[in-house]
Amino acid sequence: MMRRSRPAGPDPARLGGAKFAPPPVRAAEPVVFETVPFRTTESPPRELNLRHVVSGPRPSRGPVLMIAGTSVRANIFSPPTEDTLPGMLSRAGFDVWISNWRASFEFAPSRFYLDDAAVHDHPAAVATVLAATGAQTLKAVVHCQGSTSFMMSLIAGLVPEVTTVVSNSVALHPQFPTLAFLKLPLAVATFGKVMPYFNPQWGLHASGFWPKVFDWAVRATHHECNNAVCKHTSFTYGSGFPTLWSHENLDEATHEWIKGEFGFVPVTFFEQMEKCALHGKLMSMGVYDELPEDMLAQPPQTGARFVFMTGDQNRTFLPSGMAKTFDYFDAIAPGRHVFQQMAGYGHLDVFLGRHAARDVFPFIVDELGRD
């Protein structure tokens, strides 16, 4: 199999999608999790948790930490499809841990910046997994704002034990489609001034004046399906119809399942995205000494190998942003890192898609197995 890296100039192979030999694994079986609590490093600490796969074969290839985005929870990687990424990783011999960091809607809504997670959540999650497994190092699969915040931890040298990172959708260069780029400051300046959080659950039950106004705005502009939560996520996270996936890529059960898999997201998060959009790169809010404000201002304090991936139809974060992050790392260590676009996929359907186990997961398993 050829290693994929981005050559100079346009390369049609980058758009070719993933065609990989499937890993030597058994057919999918139900994946069983245990919940392992951990405490963040702030004072007083927050009580968060990790979902740890305990079914499947005895792990032989070390721990993999998965981190989801905002507005969701660890369970977002376990849609009701025939196979899931945690299941496939587990069957391939990895010890799979999924973080419910402070963005998880399993916890009470709170206002936070990515900085808080980069300093207090992710290093604590890494330490918990290493302590529980006895491993010296681990690999990571990080998505969306789990990726941006984990990139901050990595850049700042807060998680030196991480050796390989598969980063999906966005990393150091959040780039938005034009309409979403224009909508972002508008949303922060209007709804953001009167509500501390947005919540796609308002599509099912909006209580209070502003949530009702927000829901009205969604109903007035989104007619692409009959799933109110699906439409709210599209309105909240960009300008697509839908934004986070293609309807064609989701089976009916998964499209229905997402109704229960989206919750609060604090407006502070959109404030930070607005700052990143203005600067054209990932920026911290400058509240912690541990983090640089400009993530590109110093050499990355990590020895990890990076696998940057995104759907070529991504309408949440443009693939050109991920290409830019790849170029940044490729310039530091030419040929070491990888950039892969998944043909026909968007932002989140790389994990939820009806054919993701065929088109996407084998690529991730393969890359995690390379080091």
Q: Which residues bind Zn ion (CB under 5 A)?
A: 225, 227, 230
For Zn ion, the closer CB: 227 or 313: 227
For Zn ion, the closer CB: 213 or 225: 225
* Nearest-angstrom CA–CA distance, 7 and 75: 36
DSSP secondary structure string, 235-254? HHT-S-TTSSS-GGGS-HHH
Q: Which residue blocks in 222-318 are alpha helix, DSSP H?
A: 228-236, 252-257, 267-279
CB of 227 to Zn ion, least distance (A): 4
CB of 242 to Zn ion, least distance (A): 5
Name the closest residue to Zn ion (Cβ). Answer: 230
For Zn ion, the closer CB: 188 or 225: 225
Q: What Rg, from alpha-carbon coordinates, does the chain have?
A: 19
CB of 200 to Zn ion, least distance (A): 11
CB of 239 to Zn ion, least distance (A): 15
For Zn ion, the closer CB: 64 or 218: 218
CB of 255 to Zn ion, least distance (A): 6
Q: Are 233 and 200 in contact (CB under 8 A)?
A: yes
For Zn ion, the closer CB: 225 or 296: 225
For Zn ion, the closer CB: 100 or 236: 236
CB of 225 to Zn ion, least distance (A): 3
Tell me the C-alpha to C-alpha distance, in Å, between residue 298 and each of 101, 115, 163, 165, 185.
26, 17, 20, 19, 28
* Nearest-angstrom CA–CA distance, 10 and 15: 10
| Other beta carbons within 10 Å of 95 | 23
The backbone torsions φ and ψ at residue 84, rounded to the nearest 5 degrees and listed phi first, read -130, 165
Q: Are 335 and 5 in contact (CB under 8 A)?
A: yes
CB of 1 to Zn ion, least distance (A): 35
The residue behind tokens 């969701």 is 72
* Nearest-angstrom CA–CA distance, 266 and 187: 12
The backbone torsions φ and ψ at residue 165, rounded to the nearest 5 degrees and listed phi first, read -130, 120
For Zn ion, the closer CB: 155 or 230: 230
